[in-house]
Amino acid sequence: MLIVGAGVGGISAARGLLRDGHDVTVFERASAVRASGGAVTIWPNGAKVLSQLGVDMAGAGQVLSLVHVSTATGRRVAAIDVTALNAELGAPTRMVPRRVLLERLMDDLPLGRIRCDARAVAVTNTPDGVRVDFADGTSAEGDLLIGADGRHSMVRAAFNTQDAVPTGWCSWQGLVELPDLADSDVAVIIIDKGGNLGLSPAGNGSLQWWFDLPWSPGFVRPDSPIDTIRSHFTGWSQPVDRVLAALTNDDLSMSPFPHFRHPIPREWGQGRFTLLGDAAHTMPPTLAQGTNQALLDTMVLRRALASPRTVPEALRWYGKTRRRKVAAVSWVTSRQISHGESAMKPAGLLPPGFVTRVLTSFLRAVSHSRMSAEATGKLWPIDTR
Ligand SMILES: Cc1cc2nc3c(=O)[nH]c(=O)nc-3n(C[C@H](O)[C@H](O)[C@H](O)COP(=O)(O)OP(=O)(O)OC[C@H]3O[C@@H](n4cnc5c(N)ncnc54)[C@H](O)[C@@H]3O)c2cc1C
């Protein structure tokens, strides 16, 4: 089996399919497997898949107990009781640095299974398999190919011309060492006019920060991005001012990350190739679900390939099974609620616990709960440290 792309999606699929006894090779265009950016939230739906993959997450990042959402004037919008959500869904919610997540996923993975400096440029169904061609003139053949090559997927482009569309927003994002602020299990989101922000402990004294601002394809990078960020967000809260004082333009050098959303394709592949992760469903980071959805793709794909179906049938079943759930998540992430203070105001009037219950039900509904429980085997299998 061939996998194009060694991000979280490609590596998780490789890990799962190797566990199932398949012969798997991953092709990565970069010269090494590396994670960029800050941290990601792994919700219980993603945590369960990591457990199914045998990934030891004990001590990784920070387990969260609460997400507090307010306006810049300190008015409460919502308090998400993450401990209650975790208990309902049977696994912890963690903020994990991307680097740590990738290291844990790579643990035990035979290094020879990943070929770096391999930029895929074409994919073709052959009479009895699939072939991928690389920029250096070499090629590889297998019985199926998984395009886990991210937002600008070459594999997707081979059969689908609908590219990802910018949502009009971007995140300036990263990690900062501020042990006194990071020594907590509470994440904070502040939503107000013209932008919003988040601070979340990410383990070992580091704090994940993000600042969302409007963005368009004509974006011109300011000479001093930190001044732009400070001019928008100074005074929103004391911890925010501490973070803004600690950050420099160097901390912003990888940012911004524009938000994109793919139209979810009806078909996830053609013949013996398919898509997984952002290649199939890039979505804005609003619900912090992108990585979690890539992990769910892996779970469903493993199930499809373990069935007696032929490869093309199994891949069709996989795409069909995932499409509706992913479309629901993607749709919610692109609503204006995440960036509109006025749209969020009514949430403050809801009874305590309501938002937690809605989010819990939503995550359960979009996560193939029965399949996940069967694959995980037990109700509380997961290390919550
Ligand atoms: C600002 C921001 C914050 C986010 N926060 C969260 C969060 O909190 N929680 C969450 O769940 N998700 C979050 N996400 C989403 C998450 O980052 C993605 O959904 C996830 O990384 C997708 O993983 P992937 O493996 O599908 O793609 P990628 O991580 O993009 O990996 C694709 C890989 O394919 C390789 N590649 C590309 N083209 C080729 C080619 N032609 N040949 C060979 N290799 C190729 C690339 O080099 C890369 O290594 C966030 C996204 C953004 C932008």
In a domain, 210, yes or no: no
Helix (H) or strand (E) holding 62: strand 62-63
In a domain, 143, yes or no: yes
379 pLDDT band, cuts 50/70/90, is very low
Ligand 1 pocket test, pick from 291, 296, 330, 338 with the greatest ligand atom count within 8 Å of Cβ, gives 291
Helix (H) or strand (E) holding 147: strand 145-147
In a domain, 250, yes or no: no
Q: How many CB atoms lie within 10 A of CB 69?
A: 20
Structural domains counted in the chain: 1
Each residue of 347-368: pLDDT tens digit?
A: 666 777 899 999 999 999 999 9
Measured from the CB, is residue 275 less than 6 Å from ligand 1?
no
Q: How far is the CA of 9 from the centre of ligand 1 (A)?
A: 8
Q: How far is the CA of 150 from the centre of ligand 1 (A)?
A: 5
Each residue of 114-129: pLDDT tens digit?
A: 999 999 999 999 998 9
For residue 128, what are the CA distances in angstroms to 14, 132, 141, 271?
22, 14, 10, 10
Measured from the CB, is residue 3 less than 6 Å from ligand 1?
no
Calpha distance 278→290 (Å, rounded)? 7
In a domain, 207, yes or no: no
Q: How far is the CA of 294 from the centre of ligand 1 (A)?
A: 9
Please identify which residue in the block is written with the tokens 């060492």.
Answer: 177
Calpha distance 29→12 (Å, rounded)? 17
In a domain, 205, yes or no: no
Q: 192 — phi, psi (to 5°)?
A: -155, -175
In a domain, 293, yes or no: yes
Each residue of 6-28: pLDDT tens digit?
A: 999 999 999 999 999 999 999 99
Q: Assess contact for 283 and 332: CB atoms under 8 A.
A: no
Q: Which amino acid is at 380?
A: W
What's the rounded mean pLDDT across residues 306-319? 96
Domain around 312:
2-164+260-376
Question: Does residue 380 register a pLDDT over 50?
Answer: no
pLDDT: which is higher, 376 or 379:
376
Question: Does residue 91 register a pLDDT over 80?
Answer: yes
Task: Say which residues have a Cβ less than 8 Å from residue 123's Cβ, sequence separation at least 6.
Answer: 4, 130, 131, 132, 133, 145, 147, 154, 155, 158, 273
Each residue of 161-195: pLDDT tens digit?
A: 888 999 999 999 999 999 999 999 999 999 988 89
Q: How far is the CA of 256 from the centre of ligand 1 (A)?
A: 15
In a domain, 360, yes or no: yes
Task: Say which residues have a Cβ less than 8 Å from residue 77's Cβ, sequence separation at least 6.
Answer: 69, 70, 71, 191, 344, 345, 347, 348
Ligand 1 pocket test, pick from 154, 278, 322, 339 with the greatest ligand atom count within 8 Å of Cβ, gives 278
Name the nearest CA neighbour of 90 among 47, 41, 40, 42: 47
Q: How far is the CA of 109 from the centre of ligand 1 (A)?
A: 19
> In CATH, what number is assigned to the domain containing residue 40?
3.50.50.60
In a domain, 93, yes or no: yes
